[in-house]
């Protein structure tokens, strides 16, 4: 146990020294208006180059990703059906689906599924 603790301490020390040296040696850049503005053939930009991003797209993508992963976890339960005790499998599947439905109800109740512009 002492060896693992010592090795962990040495690794953390090496990482800390490396990060400190990188911070000290790194080239410092100062932010100014010219470096942060987009390049338009040497002219000042007419409009902002940053377009506003709709948070609704991001929210729908996150909800899709969460439910997609949960369905991917639910599908192998069909294959486990032959190897598992049926009441335990049904209880686990029922509990998992209830969690999915509660999450869907919560998202619906919060208005995340309403597409309003």
pLDDT band for 33, please (50, 70, 90 cuts).
low
pTM above 0.75, yes or no: no
Average pLDDT value for residue range 64-69: 84
- 36-54 residue pLDDT tens: 666 656 565 566 666 677 7
d(CA 109, CA 114): 10
Q: Which has the closest alpha carbon to 55: 106, 104, 112?
A: 112
Question: Which residues share a beta bridge with 43?
Answer: 40
Residue boundaries of the structural domains of the chain: 55-110
pLDDT in tens, 73-89: 888 887 777 777 888 88
Closest CA to 15 of 3, 25, 7, 5: 7
Phi and psi (nearest 5°) for 28?
A: -85, 130
């Amino acid at each position: 146990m002492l060896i693992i603790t010592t090795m962990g301490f040495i690794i953390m020390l090496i990482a800390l020294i490396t990060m400190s040296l990188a911070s000290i040696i790194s080239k410092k850049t100062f932010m100014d208006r010219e470096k942060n503005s987009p390049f338009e053939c040497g002219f000042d930009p007419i409009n902002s180059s940053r377009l506003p991003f709709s948070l609704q797209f991001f929210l729908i993508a996150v909800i899709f990703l969460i439910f997609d992963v949960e369905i991917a976890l639910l599908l192998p339960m069909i294959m486990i059906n032959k190897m598992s005790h049926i009441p335990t499998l049904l209880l686990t599947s029922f509990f998992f689906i209830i969690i999915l439905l509660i999450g869907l109800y919560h998202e619906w109740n919060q208005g995340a599924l309403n597409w309003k512009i």
